[in-house]
Structure 1
């Protein structure tokens, strides 16, 4: 893992062919370099199924003093997964843009007691269609995403985030 410098943007990955997918392992390797914290969150795998992006995570890096999931680490994971969902969606549609989280909130429902999966989907059924329309019309947009953390069959955390796609940078 290379050392990052404050104030210096990390190089972007080349875009996949329009409509093509990023290879999960390649994207995660880039993510761990671009956002050093990501490499320490216990992410073991990533897959996309339709509009759902799922991470498999190990609990060990996110343990609290009680031996369960630390809320701050879990909140960071939900925020980052939403950012990844938006970034990967943009890349699949041929956009090389910056994404920022505008708002986020979490509801902790049950303790996380073992390895878990975190699933991110759009909050509304037509959200990705509306994002595509805004990107085409205005060159920027927003999307509300929901993240759910499952430990086995138990829903432990629900989070919501509003992610903004920034306009293209002018040279």
Structure 2
């Protein structure tokens, strides 16, 4: 099973909301994780995506990337969001994607080192939501991972 399939299976089995959102792991290229979402299950009264759905999509791609990156370094643990903020730039009017990548390699290396030594670590992760190629929302979050 590749990393995309492993993540999709984990999301399907452990995050029921992802099914209601229609979230599908589209791709992972070693750096960038992309999750596709349809508009219909996420629509609001204005026929645009509900802000809460966009927040969930952004958190899901950040959480998912952290999950995959931990698998790549042969680690696992309980991943939880500690803090998160989102900025909505423009309405989402069609299917949309949430994308995430670890842009600070030094921060990632420090995170892994602390996690292996302490069994718990924090990492700040950003993700973005796009619709028709345009940036619609930006998420900044902090995640905590702890050994089970």
> Whose helix proportion is higher, 1 or 2?
2
TM normalised by structure 2 equals 0.90
Deviating beyond 3 angstroms after TM superposition, the runs of 4 or more aligned structure 1 residues are none
Question: What is aligned with 2:143?
Answer: 163
Which residues of structure 1 form unaligned runs of 5+?
1-15
C-alpha separation in 1, matches of 2:22 and 2:60: 13
Q: CA deviation at 1:88?
A: 1.6
Residues 122 and 144, structure 1, Cα contact 8 Å, conserved in 2: no
Question: What is aligned with 1:118?
Answer: 98
Q: Give the counterpart of 1:131 among 88, 91, 111.
A: 111
Q: Give the counterpart of 2:35 among 55, 72, 76.
A: 55
Residues 102 and 125, structure 2, Cα contact 8 Å, conserved in 1: yes
Question: What is aligned with 2:8?
Answer: 28
- SS of the equivalent of 2:126 reads strand
Q: CA deviation at 1:125?
A: 4.3
C-alpha separation in 2, matches of 1:26 and 1:91: 10
C-alpha separation in 1, matches of 2:24 and 2:65: 16
Over the aligned positions, Cα root-mean-square deviation in angstroms equals: 1.7
1:120-150 deviations in Å (ceiling 9; x for gaps): 1235342222212212322221111111111
Q: Aligned pairs, how many?
A: 148
TM normalised by structure 1 equals 0.79
For 1:1-171, what aligned pairs fall within 5 Å after superposition?
21-22=2-3, 24-122=4-102, 124-166=104-146, 168-169=147-148
Which of the pair has the greater relative contact order for Cα pairs under 8 Å at 6+ separation?
2
- SS of the equivalent of 1:102 reads strand
